[in-house]
């Protein structure tokens, strides 16, 4: 079973999304992996991670495809969600979806299990998706 992480600061959602995607495709990951990828991306508390840097780094590990109008019916594998400058990784688990590193209203980070309806609503608001597939 993949191991998924949540960020412990205010700026590492990009590296966390990548590490969670890598875990999903079967790569061994740890907190050290987060630090390594964070350094590669230049993630810092002032600018976080740029979308371009995230795509460039993720493409080193897996095939990715960007969707700017995601349809829940087509999302059967893991994917990175980009929503309001926050990166999360999501994966289908049975009839539900696990969203990793979800940011709550209190700005805490946790994993959240959602229904298909909740995921449809979630994907409607200013959302882009990077589909992930192993190389």
Looking at residue 36, its pLDDT comes to 95
Q: Is pLDDT at 132 greater than 80 in this prediction? A: no
Q: Would you tell me which CATH number, out of the four given (3.40.190.10, 3.90.70.10, 3.20.20.70, 3.30.930.10), belongs to the domain 13-134?
A: 3.90.70.10
In tens, the pLDDT along 92-128 reads 888 888 999 988 877 788 898 988 888 887 777 666 7
Residues 6 or more apart from 119 whose CB is under 8 A from it? 72, 90, 97, 99
Helix, strand, or coil here: 71? Answer: coil
Q: Show me where the domains of the chain are located.
A: 13-134
Q: Are 97 and 119 in contact (CB under 8 A)?
A: yes
In tens, the pLDDT along 51-70 reads 889 989 988 888 887 777 66
Q: Taking the model in full, what pTM does it have? A: 0.88
Averaged pLDDT, 19-33? 92
Instruction: Quote the tokens at residue 95.
Output: 């009839």
Question: How far is Cα 129 from Cα 63, in angstroms, rounded to an integer?
Answer: 13
């Amino acid at each position: 079973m993949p191991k998924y992480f949540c960020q412990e600061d205010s700026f590492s959602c990009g590296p966390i999304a990548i590490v969670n995607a890598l875990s999903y495709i079967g790569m061994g990951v740890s907190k050290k992996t987060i630090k390594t990828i964070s350094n590669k991306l230049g993630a810092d508390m002032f600018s976080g991670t740029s979308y371009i840097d995230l795509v460039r780094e993720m493409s080193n590990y897996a095939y990715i495809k960007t969707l700017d109008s995601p349809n829940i019916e087509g999302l059967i594998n893991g994917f990175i969600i980009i929503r309001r400058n926050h990166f999360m990784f999501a994966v289908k688990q049975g009839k539900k979806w696990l969203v990793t590193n979800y940011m709550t209203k209190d700005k805490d980070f946790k994993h959240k299990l959602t229904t298909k309806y909740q995921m449809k609503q979630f994907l409607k608001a200013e959302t882009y998706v990077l589909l992930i597939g192993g190389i």
